[in-house]
Homo-oligomer: A and B are copies of this chain.
Amino acid sequence: MPQIDIEAVKTYLLNLQDNICTAVEAADTQEKFLQDQWDREEGGGGRSRVLANGKVFEQAGINFSHVYGKQLPPSATDKRPELAGCQFQAMGVSLVIHPKNPYVPTSHANVRFFVAEKPNHDPIWWFGGGFDLTPYYPFEQDVKDWHQAAKTICQPYGDDIYPKFKAWCDEYFFLKHRSEPRGVGGLFFDDLNQWGFERSFNFMQAVGNGYLSAYLPIIEKRKDTAYGEREREFQLYRRGRYVEFNLLYDRGTLFGIQSGGRTESILMSLPPLVKWQYNWQPEPNSPEAELYNNYLITKDWV
């Protein structure tokens, strides 16, 4: 019988949120996170933390939630009929960081754990998560370093893991209506239980811990790059794609919205200021065209 340790996962996730908040505050040097602790009527709750109008970060939202219920919603059991009638719990940390400087990429990370239980059955559980990077004015070395960090995290789990979860990330963070990736990707995994609890949990921790090690150096290198109106405008324009992805495609966002989740915590991922401009196209050979031509493509970075 599989041994799962739900409390250990919860403790890890709460600590992860704390650690990331501490590191982000240190990197910002100016603003602090504000926290809202909330309860969910059907069971569970969370800690939503937002740092706004910082020196480095225009907005950073880092959410921990642990929700549970007596019965899975139909949208969750459609594809896994064996889960119908199960009690469930889901917990995770999810974050999106929108820096002020257009030379610092936006980043997103998420780690989650799901357990469904019914009497006289072993619990059904899995881990999911990943992280991905969305640059505006990318530096090739940063993207390589980001993917190298992702690969290093995966390496102990097998040579095929990084290519598999990298490809899954490319596939997931894709805006079909624009035939455009959201950014330069990273890792994405779901339904992870085939390694057993211990090893799967270890992998999730490696991803959670690895996110900061991958992102912080990029912030440090780019946060003081001089920029003007042009770069800012392009950043605001590109942020529109983030909104489009999250509201049109992101499963976590849509599931949260549809299942009566806490709207303000779910939509913390949306950028603080966004522009849309009809039929805007980058000028050929411009730095903006560089993003589209050389980065918003499916590519092996390491």
Could you tell me if B275 and A272 are in contact, using CB atoms closer than 8 angstroms?
yes
Cα distance, A253 to B284, chains bound together (Å): 30
B61-A263 in contact (CB<8A): no
Interchain CB contact under 8 A, A177 and B273: no
- For residue A141, CB closer than 8 A to chain B, the reply is no
CA distance A260 to B244 in the complex (A): 15
Q: Does A264 contact B (CB under 8 A)?
A: yes
Tally of this chain's copies: 2
Expressed in whole angstroms, the minimum distance between the Cβ of A64 and any Cβ of chain B is: 15
Q: Determine the residue in chain B with the shortest Cβ distance to A264.
A: B279
CA of A178 to CA of B48 in the docked complex: distance in angstroms? 18
Q: Which among B177, B263, B278 is the interface contact of A177 at CB below 8 angstroms?
A: B263
Choice from B178, B247, B254, B273 contacting A263 with Cβ under 8 Å? B178
Q: A272-B275, A276-B271, A278-B268 are in contact. Are A177 and B248 (CB under 8 A)?
A: no
A224 to B279, CA, bound (A): 30
Give Cα A264–Cα B278 distance, bound, in whole angstroms.
Answer: 6
Residue of B nearest to A244 (CB): B247
Interface residues of A (CB under 8 A from B): 36, 48, 50, 52, 59, 61, 176-178, 236, 240, 243-244, 247-248, 254, 257, 260, 263-264, 266-268, 270-279
**Can you list 23 A-B pairs with a CB-CB distance of less than 8 A?**
A36-B279, A50-B278, A52-B278, A176-B257, A177-B257, A177-B260, A177-B263, A243-B243, A243-B274, A244-B247, A244-B267, A247-B247, A248-B254, A267-B276, A268-B278, A270-B276, A272-B275, A272-B276, A273-B274, A273-B275, A274-B274, A274-B275, A274-B276
Of all A-B residue pairs in the complex, the 6 with the closest CB atoms, nearest first, are A247-B247, A270-B276, A50-B278, A264-B279, A177-B257, A274-B274
A-B contacts besides A50-B278, A50-B279, 5 pairs, CB < 8 Å: A59-B278, A243-B247, A247-B248, A272-B277, A274-B274
